[in-house]
């Protein structure tokens, strides 16, 4: 027994685990970047945004009688101080909510200097600079643990802009806020994130294992059940019905298993039928050949003709088997061209009638007009020949087969009617299936091989033609097909 090749690619269970853990790791990394690495930059950007917003808001409300309330609001909400100066450097309005406010402690000269630096185009001047807030201390002069002082400076953000008072006189608006060092905050967040990272990664690994087991187990079981199809066995796994997609997949595999079993049964039946068709002429050829060899005077034209007829029957069977194979694999090209369908059918009927008249069969075809179509004449002739052969095989005691031609709605329908036992309603949808034969006991075909309907179906489908069968049990069957009429054909 051959061992199955080992597939080194990771399975779906491992992939689910890796993807989930990788996603959680990405989220934790993003938290570390935002809360530790980029926290200071994000904080500085946010403070800058707030001080610019406050500057624009105050500048737009200089005419408001409650300007001082607005300035107090921004000062208390954003920890900043605000001063509005006239062009002489005198304070018009101010508000402070910061203990480290610089502009309220500046000299008049310094304030005037900042006012002079304000852009004349109405834009805002932003300056960030360091401010000394404490003196360095000697940590060794104290007992116990004293946290180290990394820096004795903090940053201060100053905003200056030129504005116009309601009276039309120029003025200056100065805002200042302190950017507090975040060392202590970052240290706290770092410790918090370390604990969170360990807990979340451990939980994610366990959750990934649980989810992968629950999600992939039905897939693995279905895969094993599908692999059993190669040995003709398929048992739908119980867990496969837990999910809609898996239930649909199992239903599809069950249908495939049923169809494969049916095809296997029909294929064996076809082989048995073909074996029967082959055995009969071979037996007759061998028997008559032995008689002609052993009995003097038996080598007469009648016996030789029987051998020739049976040889032709074998040739016909082999030819139809080859045609059937080529049509199923698509290796047969269609030679499409206009031709007279009526003349073609009439010619086939005449040949078949002459061939079977000695056995008492009657084949009739009485068209009222000549109809032209565009198709492969050789293949359509094969369709007509096979339908007539099928009708001759299963026709009734009157041994009569009738062909009709009916033209309507731009199409022509050719019908082949027999007077046999008919086909049961439950078998009608199945007779076109490959390898299918009705439950009636095997009958040797009068002409052809018995593969006619399978070949008929393949040819008509390649032409895009409509076809079907109407049958009543006890009254016979009517096989028909339709082709588009070609107007103005010669």
User: What is the tally of structural domains in the chain?
Assistant: 1
Q: Which residues of 78-109 are buried (b: 16+ CB within 10 A; e: fewer)?
A: bbbbbbbbeeeeeeebbbbbbeebbbbebeee
Residue 181 in 3-state DSSP? coil
Q: d(Cα 87, Cα 331) in Å, to the nearest integer? A: 97
Q: What is the pTM of this model?
A: 0.46
Is there a domain that residue 414 lies in?
A: yes
Give the per-residue pLDDT at 224: 78
Give the per-residue pLDDT at 98: 60
Q: d(Cα 66, Cα 69) in Å, to the nearest integer? A: 5
Give the per-residue pLDDT at 441: 44
Give the per-residue pLDDT at 144: 67
Tell me the Cα Rg of the chain. 49
Q: How confident is the model at residue 385 (pLDDT cuts 50, 70, 90)?
A: confident
Is there a domain that residue 423 lies in?
A: yes
Cα 110 from chain centre: 71
pLDDT of residue 239 exceeding 70, the answer is no
Provide the CATH number for the domain around residue 420.
3.30.565.10
What does the pLDDT average to over 308-320?
75
pLDDT of residue 452 exceeding 80, the answer is no
Residue-wise pLDDT for 213-226, tens only, equals: 777 777 777 777 77
Is there a domain that residue 374 lies in?
A: yes
Is there a domain that residue 457 lies in?
A: yes
Residue-wise pLDDT for 241-270, tens only, equals: 566 777 777 778 777 777 777 777 767 766
Q: d(Cα 485, Cα 146) in Å, to the nearest integer? A: 105
Q: DSSP letters along 396-411, please?
A: -TT-EEEEEEEEETTE
Range of the domain at 345: 337-484
Percentage of the chain modeled with pLDDT above 70: 80
What does the pLDDT average to over 47-52?
89
Is there a domain that residue 157 lies in?
A: no
Tokens representing 489 are: 């054909």
**In contact, 411 and 484? CB cutoff 8 Å:** yes
Is there a domain that residue 225 lies in?
A: no
Q: d(Cα 266, Cα 268) in Å, to the nearest integer? A: 5
**In contact, 442 and 274? CB cutoff 8 Å:** no
User: Vertex 404, ends 398 and 405: CA angle to 5°?
Assistant: 170
Residue 468's alpha-carbon distances to 175, 390, 418, in angstroms, are: 91, 14, 15
Q: How confident is the model at residue 319 (pLDDT cuts 50, 70, 90)?
A: confident
Is there a domain that residue 44 lies in?
A: no
Residue-wise pLDDT for 68-123, tens only, equals: 899 988 888 888 899 999 888 888 888 876 666 788 888 888 888 888 888 888 78
Is there a domain that residue 465 lies in?
A: yes
């Amino acid at each position: 027994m051959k061992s199955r090749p080992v597939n080194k690619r990771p399975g779906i269970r491992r992939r689910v685990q890796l993807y989930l853990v990788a996603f959680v790791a990405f989220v934790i990394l993003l938290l570390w970047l935002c809360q530790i690495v980029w926290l200071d930059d994000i904080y500085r950007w946010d403070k800058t945004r707030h001080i610019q917003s406050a500057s624009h808001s105050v500048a737009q409300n200089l005419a408001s009688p409650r300007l001082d309330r607005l300035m107090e609001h921004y000062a208390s909400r954003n920890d900043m101080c605000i001063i509005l100066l006239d062009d002489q450097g005198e304070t018009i309005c101010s508000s402070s909510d910061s203990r480290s406010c610089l502009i309220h402690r500046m000299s008049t000269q310094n304030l005037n200097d900042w006012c002079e630096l304000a852009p004349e185009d109405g834009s805002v001047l932003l300056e960030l600079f360091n401010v000394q807030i404490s003196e360095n201390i000697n940590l060794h002069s104290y007992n116990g643990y004293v946290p180290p002082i990394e820096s004795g400076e903090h940053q201060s953000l100053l905003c200056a802009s030129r504005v116009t008072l309601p009276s039309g006189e120029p003025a200056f608006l100065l805002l200042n806020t302190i950017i507090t060092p975040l060392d202590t905050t970052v240290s706290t967040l770092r410790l918090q994130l370390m604990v969170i990272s360990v807990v979340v990664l451990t939980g994610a690994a366990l959750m990934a294992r649980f989810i992968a087991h629950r999600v992939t187990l039905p897939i693995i079981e279905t895969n094993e059940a599908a692999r059993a199809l190669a040995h003709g066995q398929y048992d739908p796994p119980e867990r496969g019905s837990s999910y809609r997609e898996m239930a649909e997949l199992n239903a599809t595999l069950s249908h495939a298993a049923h169809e494969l079993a049916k095809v296997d049964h029909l294929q064996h039946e076809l082989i048995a039928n073909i074996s029967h068709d082959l055995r009969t002429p071979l037996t007759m050829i061998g028997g008559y050949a032995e008689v002609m060899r052993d009995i003097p005077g038996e080598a007469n034209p009648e016996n030789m003709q029987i051998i020739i007829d049976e040889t032709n029957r074998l040739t016909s069977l082999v030819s139809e088997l080859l045609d059937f194979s080529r049509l199923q694999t698509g290796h047969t090209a269609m030679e499409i061209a206009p031709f007279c369908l009526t003349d073609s059918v009439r010619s086939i009927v005449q040949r078949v009638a002459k061939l079977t008249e000695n056995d008492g069969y009657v084949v009739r075809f009485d068209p009222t007009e000549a109809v032209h179509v565009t198709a492969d004449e050789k293949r359509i002739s094969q369709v007509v020949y096979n339908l007539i052969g099928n009708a001759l095989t299963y026709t009734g005691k009157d041994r009569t087969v009738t062909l009709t031609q009916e033209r309507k709605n731009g199409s022509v329908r050719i019908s082949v009617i027999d007077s046999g036992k008919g086909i049961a309603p439950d078998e009608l949808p199945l007779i076109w299936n490959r390898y299918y034969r009705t439950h009636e006991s095997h009958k040797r075909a009068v002409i052809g091989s018995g593969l006619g309907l399978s070949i008929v179906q393949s040819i008509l489908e390649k032409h895009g033609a409509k076809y079907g069968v109407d049958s009543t049990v006890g009254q016979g069957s009517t096989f028909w097909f339709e082709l588009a009429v070609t107007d103005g054909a010669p």
